[in-house]
Amino acid sequence: MLTHIHHIESTQSPTLVLLHGYGSNMYDLFGLKPYLPPMNVLCFQAPKDIGMDGFAWYDINWDDGNKIVDAEEVDNVARTVQEDIIQWKTTQNVSGPIICGGFSQGAILSMAILKSGFEASGYVLMSGYMLPEWRNSNWNIDSPVLQTHGTMDHMIPFEWAESGAKLLEHVNFNFKAYPMAHNLSAECIDDVYRFLKQF
């Protein structure tokens, strides 16, 4: 099972699974806990150690200045995360709904979990984007999804996130933009809080 840190509010409470970004670790998004509604929080740590207490879910290769991601590798890691969520729920005897989310690379991974049809009650995708290989996928969005992105993001351009979001437009899908870079502003965190209050 992936290394993780968790807070359990109660076994019946909803659980927010948070997947960190490239070069970060499980403690990063766990720091959001005081800004979230009372709920269980589970933060996994990515398996690839890239040094300086930084970890990655999958490799990022560079070619002519463009980020190159292996979509198959992302899908494989997504399956591992799903299996570990189920294992964690069983081990902790947690019965409440699961909400999957993440930031940057973790948001892309969460989008892969959404694409797979995993039965989560909701998704929070922060500063991620849809990989080109997924644009023609069959997205069945039954659960509420909140996608957030900064209009001044220089790591993952806003246009990448926006173009993918247009393909996911649905009654349960909400894409929100903020005047921020590759980070989480107070306004963004407030919207995530309001989104999570429904569970």
Which pLDDT does position 66 carry in this prediction?
Answer: 67
CB crowding 97-125: b at 16 or more within 10 Å, else e: bbbbbbbbbbbbbbbbbbbeebebbbbbb
Mean pLDDT of 101-128: 97
pTM of the model: 0.95
Query: Sorting pLDDT into bands at 50, 70 and 90, what band is 107?
Result: very high
Integer CA distances (angstroms), 141 to 72, 90, 190, in order: 21, 25, 23
Whether 13 contacts 51, CB under 8 Å: no
The CA distances from residue 161 to 81, 107, 172, in Å, are: 23, 11, 17
pLDDT at 14: 98
- What residue numbers bound the domain in which 85 lies? 4-196
Task: Report the distance separating Cα 176 and Cα 193, nearest Å.
Answer: 14
Which domain CATH number covers 79?
3.40.50.1820
Residue 26 token pair: 């499980």
Percentage of the chain modeled with pLDDT above 70: 98
Residues 147-157, mean pLDDT to the nearest whole number:
96
Domain count, the chain: 1
